[in-house]
Amino acid sequence: MHTKLTNHPVEQVIAAIQALDLDPIKFKLMDAVEGHGWSREYADRMELAYKRFLILSVTHPEETLAPSKDVDRFWHGHILDTLKYAEDCEKAFGYFLHHFPYFGIRGAEDAANLAEAAENTKRLYRQEFGSAQAWSGGTIKAETAAYCGEIRAETAAYCGEIRAETAAYCGEITNENAFQGKAVRHASDKLNVSARPSLLAAV
């Protein structure tokens, strides 16, 4: 069985999602200054909830889903490691899974749609995983749903561009090497994008 989200078999995508190494993301989210100061236990719970959100996106591509605010924070943390996020999307889905950060804030109808999506996500989470508790440390409610959603390939809008002259110098990525794990570096750039932090080193 294939989904609308990807042409890969569902079982293969789920296995790839479950195999994602998200320790570097948790490492940053646990940092009190650069992240959210989460405990290791909470970061582990949000990792599981995030992976389950991605799984629901694949197993229920026809549904509009809304992550909890902390699952959305985890997703943002993953996206901010642009190279890793691109690599992980390619491994799991076969393409870059876009994020739409405006769901629920574009007026009353949009807010109502977000509330409906939150209830729908809660129902599917309970149906697929037995409980909605792990999703956000509590239950999913309209007021705890994040104002965002994923952008599917068939509805993606390309309304921005990154140019070499405006890219931040923290491991600039070019089209030629985007999926090969290589970064273009400048003499003053000391970032080693292949050396991600480890949670084991933080303990």
Give the pTM: 0.69
pLDDT at position 130 is 87
Mean pLDDT, rounded, of the chain: 76
Annotate 113-151 with b (16+ C-beta within 10 A) or e (fewer).
bbbebbebbbebbeeebeebeebbeeebebebbbbbbbe
Q: How confident is the model at residue 133 (pLDDT cuts 50, 70, 90)?
A: low
Taking residues 23-44, report their average pLDDT: 96
pLDDT at position 181 is 42
> Is 29 within 8 Å of 118 (Cβ atoms)?
no
Q: Provide φ and ψ at 68, rounded to 5°.
A: -65, 165
